[in-house]
Amino acid sequence: MPDAIDTILGLDADSLNAGQMAVRAVLTFAVTVAIIRIGSKRLFGKGTAFDYIVAIMIGSIMSRAITGSSPFFPTWVAGAMLVALHWLLAWLSSRVDWFGPAVKGNPVELIRDGEVLEAGMREASLSRNDLDQALRWQGVSHPSSVQRAVLERDGTVSVIESDREPRVLDVAVEDGVQTVRIALE
């Protein structure tokens, strides 16, 4: 049986055929999904640059098991170690105050009380067009209606709109009849 597994996976082969690579791809896919599910639920969610770097590295490492450019089982171990390292760094980031910003960066304030903060825009390397686009995505037409906007560590812009007083309209229906007051929010 071990010889059959070696042949199916091409473990002793100098070059792999299409069937061996296909079997390696299926097995490597299953192992990679299992490793990620065990090690890091957030790795392929909406993450930070830190998360994306690890995801790219895992893809690069695990592809070597498929193509045979690295030993099959040790490559799986290397992928598992990378996910374990990601988990450890994420755990440290959540518990050590200075470590999280060192690994994931800091949020940058872009708007405060309706005023665009040029220093924040420069730090974030954002143009005014980029900021306007981020505001439009959140249904905001102008920075003056924003209490606070922040470029978050994951690259999204979060917006807190200013509290607006409702606009009040007095509508007279007919002379001598009570006036109706309508508040528009």
Domain boundary among the residues 46, 69, 100 is at: 100
Task: Calculate the dihedral angle through the C-alpha atoms of 22, 24, 27, 29, rounding to the nearest 10 degrees.
Answer: -80
Q: How confident is the model at residue 2 (pLDDT cuts 50, 70, 90)?
A: confident
Residues 121, 53 share a domain? no
Q: What total of structural domains would you count in the chain? A: 2
Residues 34, 116 share a domain? no
Residues 136, 60 share a domain? no
CB neighbours of residue 79 within 10 Å: 25
Q: pLDDT, tens digit, for every residue of 88-101?
A: 988 898 899 898 88
Range of the domain at 173: 106-185
Residues 80, 10 share a domain? yes
Whether 43 has a pLDDT exceeding 80, the answer reads no
Q: Residue 163 carries which DSSP code? A: P
For residues 59 and 25, give the distance between their C-alpha atoms in angstroms, rounded to a whole number.
12
Q: How many CA atoms lie within 13 A of 31 on its CB side?
A: 23
Residues 167, 118 share a domain? yes
Cα torsion 29, 33, 36, 41: sign: positive
pLDDT at 44: 59
Residues 145, 77 share a domain? no
Residues 117, 80 share a domain? no
**CATH number, residue 172:** 3.30.240.20
Range from 41-50, 148-157, 160-169 that averages highest in pLDDT: 148-157
Pairing state between β 167-172 and 179-184: antiparallel
Q: pLDDT, tens digit, for every residue of 88-141?
A: 988 898 899 898 888 888 899 999 999 999 999 999 999 999 999 999 998 998
Q: Which tokens sit at 25?
A: 């791809």
